[in-house]
């Protein structure tokens, strides 16, 4: 068994879609990034890659490569899933947290779980997504950005 930890953060800006877990969430701002800036999926990918000792998303999907500009992070997650399979790893579980003051995430979490599980070709019961605020503290609490953390368990095939 191998455990991986992932973290990501992006700034909130106007004129961008807010995409988390592959879900477009209605909000007046979106996350700034080279891809779709889906911090939830980015944290999950980093936890999976870390557990498998395969580096991180910057190694596999550099923000200096135009082929990743605006790309769906769910597509990148599918690629990570294939890398895990090629390296004989099976996902035991993923537990992730979105840290954002606003908007409310709860109505969107079931679809996020479905998107993540589908991209990785695993059962939804292996994916847990939750959300919290920071009680108005820090950059997430002030609404400057959104962050996410993920931990996962991989098993050798």
Cβ-based burial of 40 (10 A; exposed 0-12, middle 13-18, buried ≥19): buried
57 is annotated as contributing to ligand binding: yes
- Alpha-carbon span 42 to 68, nearest angstrom: 13
84 is annotated as contributing to ligand binding: no
- Alpha-carbon span 28 to 91, nearest angstrom: 35
140 is annotated as contributing to ligand binding: no
100 is annotated as contributing to ligand binding: yes
127-140 in b/e form (b: 16+ CB < 10 A) is: bbbebeeeeeeebb
24 is annotated as contributing to ligand binding: no
46 is annotated as contributing to ligand binding: no
65 is annotated as contributing to ligand binding: yes
56 is annotated as contributing to ligand binding: yes
95 is annotated as contributing to ligand binding: no
17 is annotated as contributing to ligand binding: no
63 is annotated as contributing to ligand binding: yes
Mark the binding-site residues, compressed into ranges.
8-10, 34-35, 42, 56-58, 61-65, 100-106, 132-135, 139
Mark the binding-site residues for a divalent metal cation, compressed into ranges.
8, 10, 42
């Amino acid at each position: 068994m191998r455990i991986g930890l992932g973290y990501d953060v992006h700034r909130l800006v106007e004129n961008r879609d807010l995409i988390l877990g592959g879900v477009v969430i209605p909000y007046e701002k979106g996350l700034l990034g080279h891809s779709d800036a889906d911090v939830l999926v980015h944290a999950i990918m980093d936890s999976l890659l870390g557990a498998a000792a395969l580096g991180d998303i910057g190694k596999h999907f550099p923000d200096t490569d135009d082929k990743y500009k605006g790309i769906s992070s769910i597509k990148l997650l599918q690629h990570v899933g294939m890398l895990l399979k090629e390296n004989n790893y099976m996902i035991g579980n993923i537990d992730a947290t979105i840290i954002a003051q606003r908007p409310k995430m709860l109505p969107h979490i079931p679809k996020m779980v479905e998107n993540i599980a589908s991209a990785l070709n695993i059962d939804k019961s292996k994916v847990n997504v939750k959300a919290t605020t920071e009680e108005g503290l820090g950059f997430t609490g002030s609404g400057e950005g959104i962050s996410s953390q993920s931990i996962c368990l991989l098993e050798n095939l």
